Structure 1
Amino acid sequence: MMKRSITTTSKRRKPKAPPQQLEVAIDWEVRPGGMLVQKRSPVGSDPGCATAPFINIKVSHDSYHHLLSLPSTSTFGDLKKILARETKLEAKDQRLLFKGKEKGDEERLDMAGVKDMSKVILLEDPASKERKFVDKSKNHAKMLAYDAVMKVRTEVDKLSHKVAAMETCAKNENKIVVKEVEVLTELLMKELLKLDGIEAEGEAKTQRRIEVRRVQGYVDILDNLKLAQSTNHFDQTVPAVSVTTKWETFDSRIGSLTAPKHVQTSTKITKEWEQFE
């Protein structure tokens, strides 16, 4: 009996290719101190924030209290951004105090010891308060200046109607009373002095400049009307020189053309003659 030899061939498996490593782009940022570090992901986008527990924080601001919930790995800068939406106070104007110490924007809540229902105090930066007070004072001064200019404009509007009426009379060759022109000019000059005494900025300054030019224009119109009226009056009152053919006869005597009626003299005329040797 013959034995069969069975030859078995084993299939070799191809080695698996090593898994490809994904290249992750790293964003870098420069910290205020000049150090180059990996850019921190915002709250909610950091994978670590998804696993970090959320904590509730009580923030006291003047007489108001805010209850906020955010990841424990958030920074005080992140907390300021949330408070900016709640209080309308910009993050740069906020000061956050925890356990009596002011915290920087880069400090993390959990590292500073902030836990669930911890209390944080929000204060407004004194420089911000002073800046707002100055801005408020400037705005108040601008409003007062603007109102003062508008009051002058109202008075000038009334006087402008009288100027227009005088212009119409002059165009119609009607007589204008010079005294009325002078009074109206004086009233306009008083309004011009009021404008000169108004300290204005911004829009109020622009409106004041417009009114000054407007008043000066009305004064020029009145000056021209007064000059024209004076010229017409002069032409009417000065008599014309008449030329006649009547001639006057003069004596051929030397001396005055008209002899005096009575001439007094101190010379005494006598008939006594003085003899000379």
Structure 2
Amino acid sequence: MVFWVKFLAMKRSSISKDVIVNNEYNREIDWELRPGGMLVQKRDAGDGSSRAMIKIKVSYGSYHHDLTVPAQSTFGDLKRVLAQETGLEPKEQRLLFRGKEKDDEECLHMVGVKDMSKVILFEDPASKERKLEEMNRNQGILKAYEDVAKVRMEVDKLSEKVAALGATIRGGAKVAEKEFLVLTELLMVQLLKLDSIEADGEAKVQRRIEVRRVQSFADTIDSLKARNSNPFSSGSNAVSVTTKWETFESGVGSLSAPAGLQSSTKITQDWELFD
């Protein structure tokens, strides 16, 4: 009889404890599928195991990164951490574990990622190709800038020669036609260089400016050439007169016309006699 009483007392105590426990965790139970195929209760934030940290080795080309992340992180979470380490945006990353690419929504612990597991990172091929195209385009723009700058330096030197040529002609000196020809040809060489430069954007604008400069200097040379050929067309009041003087033997002058003005016609006259 005493034994039965004790048994009932122990049973009541156990039932009372179960009720308390059930009341404390009176909520809907979530389930998750473990890698081995076992269905277990999903661990929540109150479970100490969810706060466990694991160390993952990530291989990216010739680089290796050791990352410490929560054990229940997703591969998307891992990509965000790797973005800070590698500079690759999450959408540019591809993660492989055990030879298979993983989606962002997959959890690390669900596919068997444990402490010291190794994950392989590589850049998305399409993203890599876009970056390569952009890099080539930027290099092309930079090269165009450099080529235009080289032509600009040569045009600056030629502009000094054009200015010196103009000063000489305005000073009244005569300039050989060859000077105009050589200077024009040098300007045309620079114009051909500009025409061969493939440029876009601002580099194209700079090229156009230099083309206009070259054409402007070529027009200036044409004007100087015309002025050099006909100084009277310049509107200057300065007139150069060259006079050839003849020396007379008598000191007064000669009544005979100069040799160049004598007529070649021989005149003969017959005189008539009157009574």
TM-score by length of 2: 0.63
Instruction: Find the counterpart in structure 1 of residue 84 from structure 2.
Output: 85
- Percentage of pairs with the same residue: 59
Tell me how far apart the structure 2 counterparts of residues 227 and 128 of structure 1 sit (CA, whole Å).
Answer: 61
Name the amino acid aligned to 1:164.
A
Query: 2:74 corresponds to which letter in structure 1?
Result: T
Task: Write the mapping of 1:208-247 to structure 2, written as runs, cut at 5 A.
Answer: 208-232=207-231
**Where does residue 96 of structure 1 map in the other structure?**
95
The amino acid that maps onto 1:195 is L
Structure 1 Cα separation of the partners of residues 216 and 173 of structure 2: 22
8 Å Cα contact 1:195-1:212 kept in structure 2: yes
> CA deviation digits over 1:87-125, x for unaligned, max 9?
122221110011211111122222222221111110111
- Offset from partner CA, 1:227-249 (integer Å, 9 cap, x none): 22233278989xxxxxxxxxxxx
Structure 2 gap segments, 5+ residues each: 1-43, 241-275
| DSSP-derived class of the 1:109 partner | coil
Question: Residue deviations 1:145-164, cap 9 Å, x none?
Answer: 22222221221121111011
**In structure 1, distance between residues paired with 2:228 and 2:54:** 89
CA RMSD across the alignment:
2.5
- For structure 1, which segment, 171-180 or 159-168, has the greater mean C-alpha deviation from structure 2 after superposition? 171-180
Give the total of aligned pairs.
Answer: 192
User: Where does the alignment leave 5 or more consecutive residues of structure 1 unmatched?
Assistant: 1-45, 238-277
Q: Give the superposition deviation at 1:192.
A: 0.4
Which residue of 2 is the match for residue 202 of structure 1?
201
1:137 matched to 2:107? The reply is: no
Whole-angstrom distance in 2 between the partners of 1:118 and 1:84: 19
Amino acid at match of 1:130: E
Alpha carbons 1:49, 1:71 under 8 Å: kept: no
CA–CA distance in structure 1, aligned partners of residues 46 and 212 of structure 2: 68
- Check whether the contact 1:49–1:73 (CA below 8 A) recurs between aligned residues: no
Measure how far apart 1:63 and its partner are.
1.8
More off after superposition, 104-113 vs 89-98: 104-113
Q: Which runs of 4+ in 1 moved over 4 A?
A: 46-51, 233-237
1:196–1:144 distance in 2 versus 1, CA, 3 Å: same
Native 8 Å contact 2:74 2:105 kept in 1: yes
Q: Distance between the aligned counterparts of 2:47 and 2:201, measured in 1? A: 49
SS in structure 2 of the partner of residue 170 of structure 1: helix
Which structure has more helix as a fraction of its residues? Answer: 2
TM (norm. structure 1) is 0.63
